[in-house]
Amino acid sequence: MTVSDSETTPTTINETLDIANPDESMAHSNSSKRSPRQGFAPVLENPRFLILWIGQVFSQLADKVYLVLMIAFIAGHFQGENQPISGWVSAIMIAFTIPAVFFGSLAGVYVDRWPKKGILVISNLIRAVFVFIIPPLLWLLQGDNLTLNLSWLPHWLRSWQDQTQEAFLLPLGFLMLLMLTLVDSTITQFFAPAEQATIPLVVKRRHLLSANSLFTTTMMAMTIVGFAIGEPLLEVASHLAENLGFSWEEGKAFVVGLSYLIAGLLLLLLKTGEKREHYEKEQPHVLEDIKDGIRYLGSNHRVRNALIQLVILFCIFAALSVLAVRMAETIPGMKAEQFGFLLATGGLGMGCGAAILGGWGQQFRNNQLGLWGSIGMAVSLVGLSLSTTSLWLTLLMTTFLGLFAAFVGVPMQTTIQAETPVDMRGKVFGLQNNAVNIALSLPLALAGIAETVFGLQPVLLSLGVMAISGGILTWLMGMKE
């Protein structure tokens, strides 16, 4: 094992030399006139990062198309004639959300106790198996229902479809989809912090910003591409499967399962440089580990404030995902169901911002970038509140909002990775995953109510105040360094 393959202890953000690679440091001192290479090139030339990144592409694609797959199964097996699909889909979304809110911190503790590579590989392979077994389970459970007696409920709760319901028939196939989705989301809670904790193991410290920029760009691209191509991709797969003598369910499940499988097999090739003895030592109680992570966040103001800014960022975008429906409704020439175009332009802007940071962001301090991004987001939100009657101005403002959001998200994620010691990364990223998922959940419930009570413009302006407050907080704390 080479020295550069070992786990490293982070130093300060402003150091430009990677102390985990003394050979490179010596070369730098012997040739001080030659500045280190920056941008995406040195990151893309790193084979270990390439494996992790390509694995992310397939895993993220599978994650996004998974929801489209669930909707296809619901429409094909459980949705009644003239019955809205929203109730079925809402149940699936709740099954996705519960593990994210409750198990994020616990999963982060075990990420520190287990080899990261093993978590990345096994989580993808297990999810692949679960997707592959859905079609045969649907066939086995077809027509079977679980009868729930409703006689104990008040009459007004049992009255729908113009009649009083005495019992509710829950299809066992749909219950199976809920359980598998619950397990899939729980496994994802282990995968997400393990992936974040692996980046600093395979990328030199000074290239972390570029690496995170690529990951952010890929994440946003997969969000846009995954939902956009998910339905036609599954349709093509179902037609091919039927031509080959298989069912449409098997064809659609094969696409998602294969993506998870490819990600898992690719990550088998990953070398993280982790030391076996680190995971063989006696470990404290799980709750004590969670407390250690909370204590670390309390004592390290840079990591804590970076996390606060990320939480604010996700709060804003979760609120916008709800408000976008109302914005689309108020814009001439748009319909409420076309709100996805507004979210897509925000994702496009974020991808562009991440690409800019990957090429030139290393020249600036992370808290400086965070402040600029927060100011840009605030200005964009003010512009958005004033442009809700113009389609093109709204699209422009949402694009700028996404671009400046990258100036917040990428440097803050880089700060957390660079400042957190190796043995604390899983705990910290688990807490981050937990906080972000809560930040995504609360605005989904509150944003619509706030818009109804106060109106669209005041809510957008309040989001702008939130954005700039987080940037100023991080900047002021950074001045103490």
**DSSP output for 262-294:** HHHHHHTT------HHHHHS----HHHHHHHHH
Whole-number Cα distances in Å, 60 to 114, 306, 385, 444: 22, 24, 32, 22
Q: Same domain for 233 and 291?
A: no
In a domain, 157, yes or no: no
pLDDT of res. 340: 67
At 158, is the secondary structure helix, strand, or coil? coil
Q: Which residues pair with 149 in a beta bridge?
A: 167
Do 130 and 262 reside in the same domain of the chain? Answer: yes
Instruction: Examine the domain organization and report whether 186 and 330 are in the same domain.
Output: no
The pLDDT > 70 percentage for the chain reads 78
Within-domain flag for 256: yes
pLDDT band at 21 (very low <50, low <70, confident <90, very high): very low
Query: Distances from the Cα of 376 to the Cαs of 253, 318, 383, 403, 446, in angstroms?
Result: 42, 18, 10, 9, 24
Digit-coded pLDDT (tens) for 338-373: 666 787 788 888 888 888 888 788 888 888 888 899
CB 327 within 8 A of CB 456: yes
Q: Is residue 85 assigned to a domain?
A: yes
Alpha-carbon 436 to chain mean position: 9
Among 248, 272, 296, give the residue marking a domain's end: 272
What is the token pair recorded at 37?
A: 């290479």
174 and 307 co-located in one domain: no
Q: Is residue 13 part of a domain?
A: no
Do 348 and 474 sit in the same domain of this protein? yes
Distance, in Å, from the CA atom of 406 to the CA atom of 369, rounded to the nearest integer, reads: 9
463 vs 442: CA distance, rounded Å? 14
For residue 20, being part of any structural domain is answered with no
Average pLDDT value for residue range 441-466: 82
Question: The domain that contains 435 carries what CATH number?
Answer: 1.20.1250.20
Q: Which of 35-44, 74-83, 255-264, 396-405 has the lowest mean pLDDT?
A: 35-44
Residues 96 and 245 in one domain: yes
| Residue 262 and residue 383 share a domain | no
Q: Which of 139-153, 196-210, 429-443 is most confident? A: 196-210
Q: Which two tokens stand for residue 155?
A: 């009459």
**pLDDT tens track for 175-220:** 999 999 999 989 988 888 888 889 888 998 888 888 888 887 777 6
pLDDT of residue 1: 34
One domain for residues 212 and 87: yes
Q: Is residue 2 part of a domain?
A: no
Burial 311-334 (b: 16+ CB within 10 A, else e): bbbbbbbbbbbbbbbbbbeebeeb
Q: What is the pLDDT, as a whole number, of residue 166?
A: 63
Conformational region of residue 213, where left means phi above 0, alpha means psi within -120 to 50, and beta covers everything else: alpha
Average pLDDT value for the chain: 79
Neighbours of 409 (CB within 10 A): 27
Residue 3's pLDDT is what?
34
Is 455 inside a domain boundary? yes
Is residue 6's pLDDT more than 60? no
User: How many domains does the chain fold into?
Assistant: 2
Note down the domain range covering 450: 283-480
* pLDDT tens profile 50-101: 999 999 899 988 988 888 898 889 888 887 777 667 677 778 877 887 887 7
29-37: long-range contacts (C-beta < 8 A, 24 or more apart)? 36/206
Do 251 and 361 belong to one domain? no
Domain shared by 443 and 401, yes or no? yes
Within a domain: residue 278?
no
pLDDT of res. 55: 93
User: Pick from 272, 291, 318: which residue ends a domain?
Assistant: 272
Residues above pLDDT 90, as percent of the chain: 25
Listed residues 272, 291, 315: the one ending a domain: 272
pLDDT at residue 327, rounded to an integer: 84
More confident of the two residues 455 and 121: 121
- The CA distance from 266 to 233, in Å, is 22
Res 394 pLDDT > 80: yes
Q: Report whether 356 contacts 39 (CB < 8 A).
A: no
One domain for residues 79 and 197: yes
Query: Rounded to the nearest 10 degrees, how much is the dihedral formed by the CA atoms of 409, 413, 419, 422?
Result: 170
Q: Specify whether 266 is located in the same domain as 294.
A: no
Q: Assign 321 a pLDDT band (cuts: 50, 70, 90).
A: confident
19 — pLDDT class (breaks 50, 70, 90): very low
